[in-house]
């Protein structure tokens, strides 16, 4: 009780110093939470992958296409329940400098795509309208909201991988079943793409970017992967078959150097939190050397000294940590607002909150460690001699 | 009451052994008011700390009230101090963030007294030193003499039998120093405290029953 009271009074002794320390910790914890949120948002694609889906792509690289003819062959492989396919389209929508306009555009098989991805929910009438019209497309609810799309709106795209002007009409808007589903895609008919390619670049038609397989039993995935890849081993286009999770991971790891560096910076921030706090606590404890000696003289024990120093450290770390965490939410929301379609999912996860709280607590304990040991080791006689 | 028997104390600085006290023997009977004088660096503070149980001798024994304090472990020694000794320092050593009342209350927080009992004790001690009207003041709002009187109230609030004072008037003007000495005298005569006081001030030493001089590790 007395210790708590004295901790509070001590913390308010140098109000400016305490305030600046809390501010420093708050900013650092906020940066930590924010960076961790980016890291987790980046990996969200991996988390949202389904356990029963596999991806077949070109054995050399994702950017090389596979023949459409593989579809029927793959569908006959035992254990494969369904085959769908897709093709990255790219293109430019309006001003490419505006991050809002940066969303994936993919040519898909309208018949199977939404059966393959039950996490994308679309009203049946919209799906039917989409299937019936080759120049139509479907967009995710997030970009629809962001860019104000309504059903029936035109969506003109300037092609880059596939040159020319492409005109689509929005016939449906899908939403994610849960927060991890990507609501930022624009999906249209693969046939539409293929026919234009045939017309404009004869010889390039009849290709898909990748196949998606739904397998009956996830335990058979390694076997299926082996079967497919063996089958096309000596073909014109070899394949690499992997689980959707592995595929997403390899996708994510393309930018993994950036993510790694963000992660490293987030660890450096832990060090900064520690230094900011330790600096204050070491200084405060040093100033109070005589007071600790007086308290010990009167009969107060090591426990009280530990409580005083540790308490102040944890108090400052705690307040800074809470403020920092509370700031993380608006900062993350603001960032997500600036790049609405860049990260399909951008939430401050519970694990991030827990991690930031652990970091702040850890800093509070470690920062108090050295000055506490010093205060305990200092004999009363020495402490009384110190000019405080 | 206080029996210091053949103690030696030296400090080690790096490899150098600096002897401060050698073979000091001293007897302080109950109710004594002893003044310790001597040049700076002669070991007065060191001796006082040993008697008060906040430092340990290298050799020899110190018995206070029948307890050989050199044999007590750290936490027992702390408990012993809180029951038996009151401390008065040259620079008062009050906690600046606590009021006069709270500073005096400090030693009582380690006892089983109720809040009400603590209040009674603190008020009595502060009234005794003439600061009944300054209880809510912080050290900064008090004069040096008043601060030292708060420190004295803190030293006596647990009613210890021994008071040790290290240059209690060393930082005070003549008038305040005189007031402090009157108070010390009263504590000795009226409240029967055994007092060991280090001082450089001959006027302060006059109040003592006995004056001893410490020089070059020897006591006369
Ligand atoms: N912790 C320590 N380490 C090393 N030497 C010490 C230590 N404490 C005291 N000394 C030395 O012991 C000697 C006696 O010190 P002490 O403080 O007891 O003297 P004093 O008589 O109280 O002096 P003053 O009148 O200046 O207060 C001094 O030479 C001092 O330098
Ligand atoms: Mg001294």
Residue A244 lies in a domain: no
Which has more pLDDT, A254 or A321?
Answer: A321
pLDDT of A336 reads 80
Greatest CA separation for chain A = 95
Query: Bridge-partner residues for B18, per DSSP?
Result: B11
Overall number of domains in chain A: 2
What mean pLDDT is predicted for residues B201-218?
Answer: 87
How many angstroms separate the CA atoms of B46 and B33, rounded? 19
Sheet holding B67-68, edge to edge: B16-28, B2-13, B59-64, B67-68
pLDDT higher than 70, residue A148? yes
Let me know whether A181 and A315 are in one domain. no
Question: Does B44 have pLDDT greater than 70?
Answer: yes
Residue A111 falls within a domain, yes or no? yes
Are A198 and A347 in the same domain?
Answer: no
> Do A94 and A207 share a structural domain?
yes
Residue B38 · residue A365 · CB < 8 Å? no
Q: Are residues A84 and A9 in the same domain?
A: no
Q: Which of A15-19, A75-79, A174-178, A226-230 has the lowest mean pLDDT?
A: A174-178
* pLDDT given at position B220: 78
Is there a single domain that holds both residue A221 and residue A331? no
Q: What is the mean pLDDT of chain A?
A: 90
Of A237, A263, A298, the position where a domain reaches its end is: A237
Residue A341 domain flag: yes
What mean pLDDT is predicted for residues B69-77?
A: 88
User: At how many degrees (to 10) do helices B115-128 and B144-156 cross?
Assistant: 130
The answer to whether residue A33 is domain-embedded is yes
Average pLDDT of the residues in B47-53: 93
Q: Is the pLDDT of residue A206 over 80?
A: yes
Cα–Cα nearest to A254, from A35, A46, A34: A46
Cβ atoms of A327 and A25 within 8 Å: the answer is: no
Asked whether the predicted pLDDT for residue A310 surpasses 80, the reply is yes
Beta bridge partners of B7: B24
Q: How many contacts, defined by CB atoms under 8 Å, are there between A and B?
A: 53
Judge if A76 and A204 occupy the same domain.
Answer: yes
Residue B83 lies in a domain: yes
Residue A295 sits in which domain range?
Answer: 2-44+255-385
Q: Is residue A242 domain-resident?
A: no
User: What confidence score (pLDDT) does residue B62 get?
Assistant: 94
CATH code where residue B22 lies: 3.40.50.300
For residue B141, tell me if it sits in a domain.
Answer: no
Q: What is the pLDDT of residues A31-53, one digit of tens each?
A: 999 998 888 887 766 666 678 89
Which of B79-83, B175-179, B213-217 shows the lowest mean pLDDT across its residues?
Answer: B213-217
> Residue B42 pLDDT more than 80?
yes
Nearest 10 degrees: Cα torsion B73, B75, B80, B85: 110
pLDDT value at residue A254? 55
Domain count, chain B: 1
Whether A266 maps to a domain, the answer reads yes
Are residues A233 and A90 both part of a single domain?
A: yes
Query: What pLDDT score was predicted for residue A49?
Result: 65
List of residues 6+ apart from A128 with CB closer than 8 A = none
Answer yes or no: is B178 within a domain. yes
CA angle A363, A378, B39 (to 5 degrees): 150
Q: Is it the case that residue A388 has pLDDT exceeding 50? A: no
Does one domain contain both A137 and A33? no
- Of the listed ranges A163-177, A258-272, B29-43, the least confidently predicted one is A258-272
Ligand 1 site-directed mutation target among B22, B45, B216, most atoms within 8 Å of CB: B45
Q: Do both A23 and A65 map to the same domain?
A: no
* Residue A171 confidence (pLDDT): 95
State whether A299 and B55 contact (CB < 8 Å).
no
* Ligand 1: residue whose CA is nearest its atom 26: B40
Residue with CA at minimum distance from ligand 1 atom 30: B41
Please check whether residue A6 touches B, CB under 8 A. yes
Q: Which of A9, A298, A381 sits opposite B97 (nearest CB)?
A: A9
Give the domain extent around B204: 2-95+160-219
Distance CA B146, CA B163 (A): 18
- The arithmetic mean of pLDDT across residues A228-250, rounded, is 88
Q: Which residues pair with B64 in a beta bridge?
A: B2, B67
Kindly tell me if the per-residue pLDDT of A281 is higher than 50: yes
Count helices and strands (H / E) in chain A: 14, 12
Residue where a domain stops, chosen among A237, A268, A288: A237
Q: What local confidence, expressed as pLDDT, does residue A45 receive?
A: 61
Q: How does DSSP classify residue A92?
A: B
In terms of CA atoms, which chain B residue is nearest residue A11?
B97
Q: Are A234 and A250 in contact (CB under 8 A)?
A: no
Give the pLDDT of residue A48.
Answer: 62
Write down the mean pLDDT value for chain B: 92
Domain identity same for A266 and A205: no
Q: At CB < 8 Å, which residues of chain B contact A?
A: 46, 49, 52, 54-55, 75, 78-79, 81-82, 87, 89, 93, 95-98, 106-107, 109-110, 154
Are A66 and A126 within one domain? yes
pLDDT of residue B66: 87
Could you tell me which residues are beta bridge partners of residue A154? Answer: A169
Full-prediction pTM beyond 0.80?
A: no
Residue B70: the pLDDT is 83
Q: Are A269 and A26 in contact (CB under 8 A)?
A: no
- If you average pLDDT over residues B51-79, what whole number do you get? 90
Distance from chain centroid for Cα A70: 34
pLDDT of amino acid A373: 96
Q: How many CB atoms lie within 10 A of CB B62?
A: 23
Residue nearest to atom 29 of ligand 1 (CA): B41
Asked whether residue B101 is domain-assigned, the answer is: no
Distance from CA of B162 to the nearest CA of A (A): 13
**Residue A244 CB contacts under 8 Å (≥ 6 apart), including other chains:** A49, A50, A53, A54, A55, A212
Q: Residue A156 — very low, low, confident or very high, per pLDDT cuts 50/70/90?
A: very high
Cβ neighbours of A6 in B, within 8 Å: 95, 97-98
Tell whether A64 and A40 lie within a shared domain: no
Closest-CA residue of chain A to B108:
A298
Grouping H, G, I as helix, E, B as strand and the rest as coil, residue A151 is coil
């Amino acid at each position: 009780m007395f210790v708590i009271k004295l901790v509070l009074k001590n913390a308010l002794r140098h109000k400016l110093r305490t305030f600046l320390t809390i501010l420093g910790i708050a900013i650092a914890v906020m940066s930590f939470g924010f960076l961790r949120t980016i890291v987790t948002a980046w990996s969200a694609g991996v988390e949202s992958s389904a356990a029963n889906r596999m991806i077949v792509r070109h054995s050399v690289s994702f950017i090389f296409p596979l023949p459409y003819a593989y579809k029927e062959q793959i569908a006959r492989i035992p254990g494969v329940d369904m085959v769908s396919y897709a093709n990255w389209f790219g293109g430019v929508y309006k001003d490419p400098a505006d991050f809002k306009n940066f969303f994936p555009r993919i040519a898909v098989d309208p018949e199977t795509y939404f059966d393959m991805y039950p996490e994308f929910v679309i009203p049946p009438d919209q799906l039917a309208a989409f299937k019936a019209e080759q120049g139509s497309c479907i967009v995710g609810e997030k970009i629809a909201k962001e860019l104000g799309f309504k059903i029936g709106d035109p969506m003109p795209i300037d092609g880059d991988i596939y040159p020319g002007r492409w005109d689509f009409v929005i016939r449906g808007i899908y939403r994610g079943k849960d927060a991890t589903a990507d609501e930022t895609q624009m999906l249209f008919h693969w046939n539409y793409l293929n026919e234009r390619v045939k017309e404009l670049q004869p010889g390039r038609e009849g290709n898909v970017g990748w196949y998606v397989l739904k397998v009956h039993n996830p335990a058979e995935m390694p076997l299926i992967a082996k079967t497919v890849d063996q089958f096309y081993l000596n073909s014109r286009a070899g394949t690499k078959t992997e689980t959707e999770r592995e595929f997403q991971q390899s996708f994510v790891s393309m930018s993994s150097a950036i993510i790694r560096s963000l992660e490293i910076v987030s660890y450096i921030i832990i060090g900064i939190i520690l230094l900011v706090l330790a600096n204050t606590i070491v200084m405060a404890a040093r100033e109070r050397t005589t007071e600790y000696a007086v308290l010990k003289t009167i009969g107060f024990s090591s426990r009280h000294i530990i409580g005083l120093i540790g308490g102040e450290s944890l108090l400052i770390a705690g307040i800074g940590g809470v403020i920092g965490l509370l700031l993380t939410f608006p900062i993350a929301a603001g960032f997500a607002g600036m790049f609405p379609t860049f990260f399909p999912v951008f939430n401050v996860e519970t694990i991030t909150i827990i991690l930031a709280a652990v970091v702040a607590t850890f800093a509070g304990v470690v920062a108090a460690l050295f000055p506490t040991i010093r205060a305990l080791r200092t004999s009363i006689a020495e402490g009384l001699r110190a000019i405080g | 009451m206080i029996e210091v028997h053949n103690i030696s104390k030296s400090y080690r600085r790096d490899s150098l052994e600096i002897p401060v006290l050698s073979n000091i023997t001293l007897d302080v009977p109950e109710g004594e008011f002893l003044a310790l004088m001597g040049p700076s660096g002669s070991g007065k503070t060191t001796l006082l700390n040993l008697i008060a149980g906040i430092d340990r001798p290298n050799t020899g024994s110190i018995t206070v009230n029948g307890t050989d304090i050199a044999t007590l472990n750290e936490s027992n020694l702390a408990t012993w101090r809180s029951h038996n000794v009151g401390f008065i320092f040259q620079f008062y050593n009050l906690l600046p963030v606590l009021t006069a009342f709270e500073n005096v209350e400090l030693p009582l927080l380690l006892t089983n007294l109720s809040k009400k009992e603590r209040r009674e004790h603190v008020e009595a001690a502060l009234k005794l030193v003439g600061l009944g009207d300054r209880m809510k003041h912080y050290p900064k709002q008090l004069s040096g003499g008043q601060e030292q009187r708060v420190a004295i109230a803190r030293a006596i609030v647990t009613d210890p039998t021994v008071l040790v004072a290290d240059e209690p008037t060393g930082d005070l003007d003549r008038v305040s120093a005189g007031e402090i000495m009157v108070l010390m005298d009263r504590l000795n005569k009226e409240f029967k405290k055994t007092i060991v006081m280090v001082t450089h001030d001959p006027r302060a030493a006059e109040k003592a029953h006995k004056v001893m001089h410490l020089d070059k590790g020897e006591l006369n």
